[in-house]
Amino acid sequence: MTITLLLEQVFNGIQSGVTLFLVAAGLTLILGIMDLVFLAHGAQVMIGAYAATGFTLLTGNFYLGIFLAIPLTFASGYLLEYLIIKHLYKRDHMEQVLATFGLILFFNELIRIGFGPAALFSNLPPSLSGFVYILPETPYPVFRLIVIFIGLALAIGIYILVAKTRMGAMVRAGAANPDMTAALGVNIHMLRRFIFSVGASLAGVAGMMLAPLTVVEPGMGEPLLILSLVVIIIGGIGSVRGAFIAAVLVGLVDTIGRVFLPDMLRAFMSQSAADGAGPALASMMIYILMAVILVFKPTGLFPPKG
Amino acid sequence: MQALKRSLEILKSSPALFILLLGFGLFPIYTSMADLPFWNDVSMRIMLLGMAALGLNLVLGFGGMVSFGHAAFIGIGAYSVGISQFYGIDNGWLHILFALLFCAAIGLVIGFLALRTKGIYFIMITLAFAQMLYFFFVSLEVFGGDDGMGVDRASFLIIDLWDPLRLYYLIWIALFAVSLLLLLIINSHFGVILQGIKDNESRIEAMGLSALHFKITAYVASAAICGLAGALFANWQEYVSPDIMHWSRSGELMIVIVLGGLSYIAGPLIGAIVFFLLEEFLPELLYFIAPDYSENWMIIFGPMLIAVVLFTKGGLMAIFEQLHRRITQRQNTT
């Protein structure tokens, strides 16, 4: 019983970890390469979720909805960079925090006007809503498994893109010394816009995968944004590899803590108190983990070389 | 008498602050004549927000430390009142003492750990500590958890707060004291060094001073000021919940400071006034243009914030200063 429960929770932890990674991957590059505190990345998650849900409702086909939503999230990232973000690179962190905070307010309100304040529910097609047996007598939802596979595949894709391709070399050079990279003939503006748009689409994909698992509502991206900021700090700002490891770590700690902390707390306090305090304490654990790591390694686990 | 004279002299050095404090002090006379008691309430909220923002501005504007977690100290201050009452301590002075002590102690711990980092890491670690405290109070089911707890207006020995005007002037006196204290700090030796650290930390270190000590001291002081604002806030709202320490509240505090003008002593108060006026009147303005969407005033406020960041340097105070300079120049030429 406990082994199957543990296994199930480990899978859930990995699933939330890879989702978190998709948000954090773009954000760590935005923070690291562009030195930009971008708080509206959670809004990209929301845009992705709403785009997929909206197109699914419109076309009646889940896959077509996703297919149409991905270019939209790319376009929204591209447009956002072109209109607002490119003016913020040279500003100090404080101003970036405020401007992107303003973006959060704007996007949440825009969605509220467009779709109403109530939550939307995104239904999975029958082909994705079944269960598979990961162990005998341990059924696991197919869709969560698919999320894990897509997350891992995208993680490998990002790794190849950054570490093995010409584009990735430019990205890494841009991170180390943007002025010198520009002097060597790389169009640093286009490079930034490209990273930003790809980051936005990855966050959008995270939103699309979250949509059927949770509710789609205005402001849904913010908890994910805060968690992915924690992931980025733990992993080291600018490090995609660090973001991946930290994301899985945070996903596991959060999920497993949420399930097992109430059980452990019951040893010290009444059942109802433990049930109430458990999830909140599990949320706290992530921040304690981060604080402990930062005390010993002030620049995170895998600070990028440069 | 001597101290009062010196205080007035310092206040004169910042006329904007002097006028604002005078305005807040005289405002209830206007509201009682115009029979608008509701605006006393708004004024109290503005003073409390302004007080917290004044505290944050010490580290943000004058120390150059972008702390993204100061709402946590407001929360600790507010919970100091709620939890003290829960255990039967009704003395308001004790509540304030607890708020100051707890905020200073927790500020010291957070400051010590967070100030080892710089730049983006500092912003994020202050946010993380604030989140930690937020979830801590959510997890405390005894004190209401997510739903929060009711608070009675405290009695301050002989003075109780059953009359809202007494609370008003208690808040006003606190705001006055905090403003004066900040003016003293900014103009002191300590304040000059703090601003020096903001401009060039390594130069201050090269002078043989420990920048970290100054930064931690400023951080603790600003935490305590936010705690005071929080304790009074609990008395004003008669209710405390973790919501007041949500991370978006920390963002709000920053907005207030930047609207008014970073590193101007009167900036946070101006910012607080403008923030509440916008909150009050943007929905009404929207009601004229698009009646169905008057609730959605954030759709204007968000882009406005971006415009303030992109197009103004130094917020409203800087604009006032420019206007003032232009007027005096014109007077000089004629």
Residues B124, B117: Cα–Cα separation, whole Å: 10
CA dist B183 → A178, B220, B229, B265 (Å) = 42, 17, 17, 7
* 258-277 of A, contacting B, C-beta below 8 A: 272-273, 276-277
Q: Which residue in chain B is spatially nearest to A284 when comparing CA positions? A: B132
Q: Which residue in chain A is spatially nearest to B67 when comparing CA positions? A: A94
Other beta carbons within 10 angstroms of residue B307's beta carbon come to 12
- Predicted pLDDT at A5: 80
* For testing contact with chain A, the best of B141, B143, B241, B262 (most A CBs within 10 A): B141
Out of B125, B251, B310, name the one closest to residue A101 (CB).
Answer: B251
Q: What is the overall mean pLDDT for chain A?
A: 86
Residues in A closer than 8 angstroms to B145, CB to CB, are 276-277, 280
Residues in A closer than 8 angstroms to B308, CB to CB, are 98
Residues A224, B89: Cα–Cα separation, whole Å: 40
Angle among Cα A269, A272, A277 to the nearest 5 degrees reads 70
Please judge whether A97 and B68 are an interchain contact, meaning their C-beta atoms are less than 8 angstroms apart.
yes
Assess A110–B contact: CB distance below 8 Å, yes or no. yes
- B64 and B257 Cβ atoms separated by less than 8 Å: no
Out of B120, B248, B302, name the one closest to residue A109 (CB).
Answer: B302
Of A130-139, A152-161, B40-49, B259-268, the least confident = A130-139
* E strand or H helix at B290: none
Give the amino acid at A263. D
Residues B110, B59: Cα–Cα separation, whole Å: 14
Out of B129, B131, B262, name the one closest to residue A226 (CB).
Answer: B131
Give the amino acid at B248. S
Nearest-CA distance from A134 to chain B in Å?
Answer: 34
Q: How long is chain A?
A: 306
- Predicted pLDDT at A103: 94
Assess A112–B contact: CB distance below 8 Å, yes or no. yes
- Predicted pLDDT at B75: 95
Out of B132, B139, B306, name the one closest to residue A287 (CB).
Answer: B132
Q: Please give the structure tokens belonging to residue A269.
A: 């306090």
Please judge whether A290 and B125 are an interchain contact, meaning their C-beta atoms are less than 8 angstroms apart.
yes
Domain range summary for chain A, segments of one domain joined by + = 34-216, 220-306
Give the amino acid at A272. S
Residue matched to tokens 């936010």: B226
Residues in A closer than 8 angstroms to B254, CB to CB, are 94, 97-98, 101
Q: What CATH number is given to the structural domain containing B321?
A: 1.10.3470
DSSP of A9-69: HHHHHHHHHHHHHHHHHHHHHHHHHS----TTHHHHHHHHHHHHHHHHHHHS-HHHHHHHH
What residues have CB less than 8 Å from B132, skipping those under 6 apart? A284, A287, A288, A291
- B171 and B177 Cβ atoms separated by less than 8 Å: no
- A201 and A52 Cβ atoms separated by less than 8 Å: no
> Quick check: B292 pLDDT over 80?
no
Residues A248, A148: Cα–Cα separation, whole Å: 11
> Quick check: B48 pLDDT over 90?
yes
CA dist B150 → A133, B74, B236 (Å) = 50, 16, 11
Q: For chain B, how many structural domains are there in total?
A: 1
Out of B127, B145, B310, name the one closest to residue A99 (CB).
Answer: B310
Nearest-CA distance from B331 to chain A in Å?
Answer: 35
Count of CB pairs separated by less than 8 Å, A with B: 138
Nearest-CA distance from B325 to chain A in Å?
Answer: 26
> Quick check: A1 pLDDT over 60?
no
SS3 content of chain B, % helix, strand, coil (to 5): 80, 5, 15
Residues A81, B104: Cα–Cα separation, whole Å: 41
Other beta carbons within 10 angstroms of residue B31's beta carbon come to 18
Write the pLDDT tens digit of every residue in A213-232.
Answer: 888 888 888 889 999 999 99
Nearest-CA distance from A194 to chain B in Å?
Answer: 22
Out of B123, B293, B310, name the one closest to residue A97 (CB).
Answer: B123
> Quick check: B166 pLDDT over 80?
yes
The SS3 of residue B239 is: strand
DSSP of B107-170: HHHHHHHHTTS-HHHHHHHHHHHHHHHHHHHHH-GGGTGGG-EE-PPPEETTEE--SHHHHHHH
> Quick check: A128 pLDDT over 90?
no
Q: Which residue in chain B is spatially nearest to A292 when comparing CA positions? A: B113
Out of A97, A106, A278, name the one closest to residue B303 (CB).
Answer: A106
pTM of the model: 0.89
What residues have CB less than 8 Å from A237, skipping those under 6 apart? A28, A31, A32, A299, A300, A303, A304, B120, B121
Residue B87, Cα to own-chain centre: how many angstroms? 28
> Quick check: A180 pLDDT over 90?
no
Please judge whether A84 and B258 are an interchain contact, meaning their C-beta atoms are less than 8 angstroms apart.
no
Residues A99, B148: Cα–Cα separation, whole Å: 31
Query: Model confidence at B152, in pLDDT bands (50, 70, 90)?
Result: confident
Other beta carbons within 10 angstroms of residue B231's beta carbon come to 32
Please judge whether B298 and A108 are an interchain contact, meaning their C-beta atoms are less than 8 angstroms apart.
yes
- pLDDT > 90: what percent of chain A? 33
Query: Model confidence at B263, in pLDDT bands (50, 70, 90)?
Result: confident
The range of the structural domain enclosing residue B230 comes to 2-333
> Quick check: B293 pLDDT over 80?
no
Q: Which residue in chain A is spatially nearest to B130 when comparing CA positions? A: A287
Please judge whether B113 and A105 are an interchain contact, meaning their C-beta atoms are less than 8 angstroms apart.
no
Query: Model confidence at A306, in pLDDT bands (50, 70, 90)?
Result: low
- Predicted pLDDT at B328: 82
- B215 and B208 Cβ atoms separated by less than 8 Å: no
- Predicted pLDDT at A300: 84
Residues A168, A152: Cα–Cα separation, whole Å: 19
What residues have CB less than 8 Å from B334, skipping those under 6 apart? none
Of A69-83, B97-111, B286-300, the least confident = B286-300
For residue B288, count CB atoms less than 10 angstroms from its CB and return exposed for 0-12, middle for 13-18, buried for 19 or more: exposed
Residues in A closer than 8 angstroms to B292, CB to CB, are none
- pLDDT > 70: what percent of chain A? 97
Per-residue DSSP letter, A91: S
Please judge whether A103 and B306 are an interchain contact, meaning their C-beta atoms are less than 8 angstroms apart.
yes
The SS3 of residue B92 is: helix
The SS3 of residue B207 is: coil
Assess A86–B contact: CB distance below 8 Å, yes or no. no
- Predicted pLDDT at A159: 87
Write the ipTM. 0.85
- B210 and B193 Cβ atoms separated by less than 8 Å: no
* E strand or H helix at A165: none
Q: What is the overall mean pLDDT for chain B?
A: 87
Other beta carbons within 10 angstroms of residue A267's beta carbon come to 7
Give the mean model confidence (pLDDT) for residues B141-169.
78
Out of B119, B247, B303, name the one closest to residue A226 (CB).
Answer: B247
Please judge whether A291 and B68 are an interchain contact, meaning their C-beta atoms are less than 8 angstroms apart.
no
Out of A37, A87, A283, name the one closest to residue B135 (CB).
Answer: A283
Of A11-20, A63-72, B101-110, B115-124, the least confident = B115-124
Please judge whether A237 and B136 are an interchain contact, meaning their C-beta atoms are less than 8 angstroms apart.
no
Assess A292–B contact: CB distance below 8 Å, yes or no. no
Of A40-49, A170-179, B133-142, the least confident = A170-179
Please judge whether A284 and B136 are an interchain contact, meaning their C-beta atoms are less than 8 angstroms apart.
yes
Q: Which of A100, A124, A120 is nearest to A111 (CA)?
A: A120
